[in-house]
């Protein structure tokens, strides 16, 4: 039985601003294939320190997804939404439908949410509805094919590949027809728009008016994330001021989402706290530094044997272990000896160098260089790539969330 949509709306962290810091969503990455190519998308890079749509550290089968939901639900009782948002297009993957079926059967209390490019939506709207989906997002960046052709590469539809204006026309036509059908069925439709300065920024108000007329519930204008290896890698993201100005103007026509976190395809937790690395598949993290407490667990930092030991802690303010390895703005280095921890220095990291793609790898290597005199690193989370790199360098990694103190260091007593 599907939960009442009104009731579910109040607990949906993306659709309701009031819910965003109280209820969690979990994305299950069961959909690796895509049927179009957006000029800003590159799904090649895979690292849990890289947070943007299209990125995941693992792809799950529908059965694995259900198993993972069981584990997450136990740890996160305020989980309210299961979303399928990639890493490709959910509707281009039959696994999406199998997952929805299994999840709705086992967890009728959870709300189902799907995010799609909309190409296959007219053919699947009824199917999604019948499986219990009431919250649907379409990422739509243009309503004019002349603008659309600058954003999309190829479009694959019914065994043929289209490009240029023809491809954009096909996609936009299906998006509009799909949105109309979903609204008619009574779904809460959200439109995500990627704002690309110089390409669609001036066209967005017209697009918003068009989708508003179709009866969408809310619109979300996201900034372009320029990603290496894509056509738009050299383009700039809009400034926060430019985006705010556009959102303010469009808000006169439609409800505007302003709390989006541009989540990964495997994001888990409240919108502001991604806990996906805590629940990674056993063995997916090469250094064995997976979740902290609910599986076999990371190796604890050993402070005996070889005398003084230097440990780096990922902490933004010095008091709490609150950062991932790749996105930490600062590490505090401690020397541990004879059951004591003595503060040595703070290492400040230039996070502006943390750009998706190969520069991201350089960023990770630079941090490892800065912490080269440390034998162990304590972080809130870490992805497979940095974990492997640290393992190669002989470092011990500990995943820990909580205060920087004796327990974080693995020391006994208070």
| By CB under 6 A, residue 86 contacts ligand SF4 | yes
Among 13, 29, 54, 83, binds ligand SF4 (CB under 6 A): 54
Residue 54: contacted member of ligand CLF, ligand SF4, none (CB under 5 to 8 Å, by partner type): ligand SF4
> 175 near 203, Cβ under 8 Å?
no
Q: How many whole angstroms separate alpha carbon 104 and alpha carbon 133?
A: 9
Nearer to ligand CLF, 31 or 303 (CB): 31
Q: Which is nearer to ligand CLF, 12 or 363 (CB)?
A: 12
C-alpha dihedral, 30 to 36 to 41 to 42, nearest 10°:
70
Binding of ligand SF4 at residue 36 (CB under 6 A)?
yes
Nearer to ligand SF4, 118 or 384 (CB): 118
Binding at 11: pick from ligand SF4, ligand CLF, none (beta carbon under 5-8 Å per type):
none
Q: Is the CA virtual torsion 84, 86, 89, 91 positive or negative?
A: negative
Told to check if 356 binds ligand SF4 by CB under 6 A, we report no
191 near ligand SF4 (CB under 6 A) = no
Q: Which of 14, 24, 30, 34 binds ligand SF4 (CB under 6 A)?
A: 34
CB of 387 to ligand SF4, least distance (A): 25
CB atoms within 10 A of CB 394: 7
Those residues with Cβ within 8 angstroms of residue 283's Cβ, 6 or more apart along the chain or in another chain: none
Strands 268-269 and 376-379: what pairing? unpaired
Q: Which of 46, 50, 89, 381 binds ligand SF4 (CB under 6 A)?
A: 89
Residue nearest ligand CLF (C-beta atom)? 83
Minimum Å gap between C-beta 377 and ligand SF4 is 32
CB 43, min distance to ligand SF4, A: 6
CA quadruple 54, 213, 15, 45: dihedral, nearest 10: 10
Report the residue number whose CB is nearest to ligand SF4. 41
Alpha-carbon distance of 338 to 336, in angstroms, equals 7
Residue 286: CB minimum distance to ligand SF4, A: 26
Residue (of 78, 125, 71, 82) closest to 105 by Cα position: 82
């Amino acid at each position: 039985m599907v939960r009442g949509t009104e009731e579910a709306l109040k607990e949906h962290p993306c659709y309701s601003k009031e819910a965003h810091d109280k209820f969690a969503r979990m994305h299950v990455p069961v959909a690796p294939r895509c049927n179009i190519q957006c000029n800003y998308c590159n799904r090649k890079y895979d690292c849990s320190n890289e947070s943007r749509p299209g990125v995941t550290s693992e792809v799950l089968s529908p059965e694995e997804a259900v198993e993972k939901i069981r584990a997450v639900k136990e740890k996160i009782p305020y989980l309210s939404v299961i979303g399928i948002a990639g890493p490709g297009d959910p509707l281009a993957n039959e696994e999406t439908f199998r997952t929805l079926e299994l999840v709705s059967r086992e967890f009728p209390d959870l709300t189902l949410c799907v995010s799609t490019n909309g190409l296959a939506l007219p053919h699947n709207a009824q199917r999604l509805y019948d499986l219990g989906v009431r919250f649907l997002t379409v990422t739509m960046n243009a309503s004019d094919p002349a603008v659309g052709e600058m954003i999309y590469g190829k479009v694959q539809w019914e065994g043929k590949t289209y490009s240029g204006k023809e491809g954009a026309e096909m996609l936009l036509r299906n998006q509009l027809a799909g949105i109309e059908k979903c609204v008619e069925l009574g779904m809460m439709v959200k439109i995500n728009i990627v704002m690309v300065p110089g390409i669609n920024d001036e066209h967005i108000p017209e697009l918003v008016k068009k989708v508003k007329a179709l009866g969408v519930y809310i619109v979300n204008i996201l900034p372009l994330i320029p990603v290496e290896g894509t056509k738009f890698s050299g383009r700039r993201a809009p400034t926060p001021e430019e985006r705010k100005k556009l959102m303010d103007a469009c808000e006169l026509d439609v409800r505007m989402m302003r709390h989006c976190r541009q989540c990964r395809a495997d994001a888990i937790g409240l919108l502001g706290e991604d806990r996906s690395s805590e629940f990674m598949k056993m063995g997916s993290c090469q250094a064995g530094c997976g979740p902290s407490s609910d599986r076999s667990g990371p190796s604890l930092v050993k402070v005996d044997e070889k005398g003084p030991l230097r440990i780096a802690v990922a902490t933004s303010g010095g008091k709490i272990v609150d950062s991932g390895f790749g996105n930490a703005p600062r590490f505090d280095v401690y020397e541990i000896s004879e059951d004591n921890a003595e503060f040595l220095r703070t290492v400040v990291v230039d996070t502006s160098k943390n750009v998706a793609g190969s520069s991201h790898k350089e960023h990770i290597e630079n941090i490892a260089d800065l912490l080269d005199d440390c034998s162990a690193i304590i972080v809130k989370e870490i992805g497979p790539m940095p974990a492997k790199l640290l393992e190669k360098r002989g470092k011990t990694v500990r995943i820990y969330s909580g205060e920087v103190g004796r327990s974080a260091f693995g020391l006994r007593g208070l």
